[in-house]
Amino acid sequence: MANWTTASRKALAEVMSIDTWLPETMPEYAQGFMYMLGSLTASSFVALIISGVVLAANGPASWSYNGADRFAAAVHFWSVQAFFFFMMLHLWRVFFTGAWRGGRKETWLLGALALLIAIPTAFTGFLINGDFYSQWNAVQAKDGLNALGLAWVNLPNAGQMFGMHVVVLPLTLSVIIFGHIVRVRIKGVVPPYPIKHEASVSAVSKEGQ
């Protein structure tokens, strides 16, 4: 009789399989630029993490006086722009190509959840700048969260926002993105919609059977 240990072993064996992560062949339809948008999103996220670690290690104000940290801050900023740009294109592509087909709805939901988590992650990054613009945004957004009953999220609290931006939200987003990538590697890339002529021929042949 199967139990949770057996199910976990099977799932882990599938996830850790070398065929899952290093396939020898790729479908021809998956070699176009539009199918690279997910990889570009993930690459932007890696650049975000690396530059963010550098900035967090040297302190939130170091980019104001240190040239190297200022460069890291610029990389971090433009990686955010690239991340959201490629993510939106990726979501549009998978939506219009029906990427939830073939048992891939969990993959689609994880991708949508990643976008929802990425938004407050980016917003808390703007809040820890410490300038007048970030303080004004914090006060205005705090009123909105209070109205939603989320008063425990104190946006003007720089320490809480620093912890949320550097630890809580990035870790959550990393887990979700990793789960999304695992689902993609296991299920594969969704094939294009069948041509209407082929679909009608297939339907006629099934009726004949």
Residue spans per domain, the chain: 32-200
What's the pLDDT at 86? 95
Reading the block at residue 128, the tokens are 């820890």
What's the pLDDT at 75? 94
* Separation between Cα atoms, residue 190 and residue 201, nearest integer Å: 21
CATH code that applies to domain 32-200: 1.20.810.10
Q: Which pLDDT tens digit goes with each residue over 108-165? A: 899 999 999 999 999 998 888 777 888 888 888 888 888 787 778 888 888 888 899 9
Q: pTM (2 decimals)?
A: 0.78
* Separation between Cα atoms, residue 160 and residue 20, nearest integer Å: 39
55: CB partners within 8 A, 6+ apart = 62, 63, 69, 72, 73, 76
Residues of the chain scoring pLDDT < 70: 1-2, 11, 13-24, 196-209
